[in-house]
Copies of this chain bind each other. A is one copy, B any other.
Amino acid sequence: MISIDKDLEFELGEVTRRTHNMGIPVMIIIEGAPASGKSRLSNALYMSLDAKYTNFVATRPPREADLRYPFLHRYWYHLPKDGNINIHFRSWYSQLIEYKDYNIKRNINTDFKLIEEDMKNFEETLTNNGYEVLKFYITTDKEVRERHIQNLKDNPMLKWKAEEFQSRLQHHDYDEEMEYFLQGETVSPWTQIDFHNKEDAANTLYSAIITRLKKRIKAEHKNKPKTEGRFSDNFKTDLFTFDFDKETIPKHEYKEILPDLQARMREIQFQLYQEKIPLVLVYEGMDAAGKGGNIKRTRALLDPTGYKNNAIGTPTDIELAHHYLWRFAKRTPRSGHIGFFDRSWYGRVLVERVEGFASQDAWQQAYEEINDFEKALHNSGAVVIKFFLSLDKDEQLKRLEDRLNTPEKQWKITEDDWRNREKWDLYLEASEDMILKTDTEHAPWIVIPANDKRYARITALKTIIKICEERLASKNKSV
């Protein structure tokens, strides 16, 4: 057992009680080769922190189920909420080392440079949003490791653990692989800890955490200016100006085309499933633009075990206590599955911007974060398509009034719809900014005139089918 300096332990307790009370989320990452001592050190740290807000997250060697999600999924999933502490025993770094091995073995052609970029973007997003990310790398010389492994070997009950260590050490040269990361450019700096003497190692670890968090607490106390969203005085847009009269599909034509497209969509679902390609479909647009009905037409013939329809409402308390992408990252579809998002993470730059729930800094930095997030989905193999259903102000009024006057539709209408309508121009401006800043090659925006619901539905369906067909064709070509 490592005996911990009582004063240091108390000081660590004091400091983390403060970050807890101030709502600062902390992620402590502990990397190191097998048998380097990181397990003993992590256990000491785990015992020194308050279990009420400390979570121990171990990265295991990848299993089939893990590989079905984007590379960073489990870290998004386990993101600490405000004021909580995660101890990451091995992290995205050793996960990458092991994924490399796994993929090479299976001859899967993954560009790991892209994953490295995702990792960097992830740390950047965390840091920019107030997460304290502390990275430690435990080093030992070979002799100390060998001695530890020999100790285990001498105990018949622990012998298998020694063998596991040895096999993993034969497999990967962690030191060499980690050296690459330690030398490279990084968002949050690494602290190296020599485990030659375990008490010294613990002192270094505890002191480093205390120093870093104290600095943060001090910085937090300075008054930060709160900037709210600002808008141009005279907003003009061409983006949402269509010839709405032209963009229509007559009923008889719609009835003729729709079933075939739905049947084709069903085939697409099964093909994506077979090829293990996940599909992310985002629907944004003004109130009453017909998002739900549009999604329904696409879902009509799908196998319900292979898709989820995520209707996004007001965030819960727990969701508000996390990074805004957390609740969406958790719902990322696994490979071969489809995730519909009836409203999405774009709420950050739409409703949160317009209503002032997010500061100007926050929503302005969100564009890049969202691009990074979608890039990571793309890098993990997903097809990402985003629809913006646009209708004009008169058509919205007609639909809202129709809801009001039709007993079966009254439940659909709320005070919010009228309030939002008053801010029509602000929403339009936010929408245009959003589309201009987040229309990327890997996650394109499709703006659809939606005054005619039939036209909007057919266009969305055709677009999904076309993009998926292209992707399936390119996949087949590369094999």
Choice from B42, B303, B316 contacting A43 with Cβ under 8 Å: B303
When C-beta atoms are compared, the residue in chain B nearest to A51 turns out to be B311
Choice from B1, B60, B311, B316 contacting A300 with Cβ under 8 Å: B1
Instruction: Provide the bound-state CA to CA distance between A308 and B78, in Å.
Output: 14
**Residues A313 and B47 in contact, CB atoms below 8 Å apart:** no
A interface bracket (residues with beta carbon within 8 Å of B): 35 or more
Instruction: Provide the bound-state CA to CA distance between A411 and B46, in Å.
Output: 18
Contacts of A89 in B (CB 8 A): 304-305
Q: A47-B299, A309-B51, A311-B52 are in contact. Are A304 and B158 (CB under 8 A)?
A: no
When C-beta atoms are compared, the residue in chain B nearest to A38 turns out to be B304
Instruction: Provide the bound-state CA to CA distance between A259 and B1, in Å.
Output: 9
Does A317 belong to the interface (CB within 8 Å)? yes
Contacts of A342 in B (CB 8 A): 51
Tell me the minimal C-beta distance from A312 to chain B in angstroms.
8
Does A50 belong to the interface (CB within 8 Å)? yes
Contacts of A408 in B (CB 8 A): 10
Tell me the minimal C-beta distance from A268 to chain B in angstroms.
9
25 contacts between A and B (CB under 8 A): A1-B262, A1-B301, A10-B408, A17-B411, A39-B303, A42-B304, A43-B302, A46-B299, A46-B304, A47-B300, A50-B311, A51-B309, A52-B311, A58-B304, A63-B64, A87-B304, A89-B304, A157-B267, A157-B270, A158-B267, A158-B270, A160-B270, A160-B274, A161-B270, A316-B318
When C-beta atoms are compared, the residue in chain B nearest to A9 turns out to be B408
Contacts of A267 in B (CB 8 A): 155, 157-158
Does A56 belong to the interface (CB within 8 Å)? yes
A-B pairs, 6 with minimum CB distance? A51-B311, A58-B305, A43-B304, A157-B267, A52-B311, A51-B309
Instruction: Provide the bound-state CA to CA distance between A58 and B333, in Å.
Output: 14
When C-beta atoms are compared, the residue in chain B nearest to A14 turns out to be B411
Does A296 belong to the interface (CB within 8 Å)? yes
Contacts of A305 in B (CB 8 A): 39, 56, 58, 60, 89
Contacts of A158 in B (CB 8 A): 266-267, 270
Instruction: Provide the bound-state CA to CA distance between A136 and B303, in Å.
Output: 19
**Residues A309 and B155 in contact, CB atoms below 8 Å apart:** no
Which one of A270, A274, A317 has the highest number of Cβ atoms from chain B below 10 Å of its Cβ?
A270
Copies of this chain assembled into the complex: 2
**Residues B1 and A313 in contact, CB atoms below 8 Å apart:** no
Instruction: Provide the bound-state CA to CA distance between A304 and B267, in Å.
Output: 46
Q: Is the contact region of chain A dominated by helix, strand, or loop, or is it mixed? A: helix
Contacts of A1 in B (CB 8 A): 259, 262, 300-301
When C-beta atoms are compared, the residue in chain B nearest to A316 turns out to be B318
Contacts of A292 in B (CB 8 A): 51
Q: A51-B342, A89-B305 are in contact. Are A299 and B43 (CB under 8 A)?
A: yes
Interface string of A152-186 (1 = CB under 8 A from B): 00010110110000000000000000000000000
Tell me the minimal C-beta distance from A454 to chain B in angstroms.
17
Q: A65-B65, A89-B305, A299-B43 are in contact. Are A157 and B271 (CB under 8 A)?
A: yes
Does A127 belong to the interface (CB within 8 Å)? no
Instruction: Provide the bound-state CA to CA distance between A13 and B408, in Å.
Output: 9
**Residues B13 and A304 in contact, CB atoms below 8 Å apart:** no
Q: A65-B63, A305-B89, A316-B318 are in contact. Are A310 and B51 (CB under 8 A)?
A: yes
Interface residues in A36-55 (C-beta closer than 8 Å to B): 39, 42-43, 46-47, 50-52
When C-beta atoms are compared, the residue in chain B nearest to A7 turns out to be B408
Instruction: Provide the bound-state CA to CA distance between A278 and B56, in Å.
Output: 18
Interface string of A330-344 (1 = CB under 8 A from B): 000000000000100
When C-beta atoms are compared, the residue in chain B nearest to A42 turns out to be B304
**Residues A304 and B39 in contact, CB atoms below 8 Å apart:** yes
Instruction: Provide the bound-state CA to CA distance between A271 and B160, in Å.
Output: 10
Contacts of A87 in B (CB 8 A): 304
Contacts of A300 in B (CB 8 A): 1, 43, 47
Other 4 A-B pairs with CB < 8 A, given A13-B411, A43-B304, A157-B267 = A46-B299, A60-B305, A63-B64, A316-B318
Instruction: Provide the bound-state CA to CA distance between A459 and B17, in Å.
Output: 32
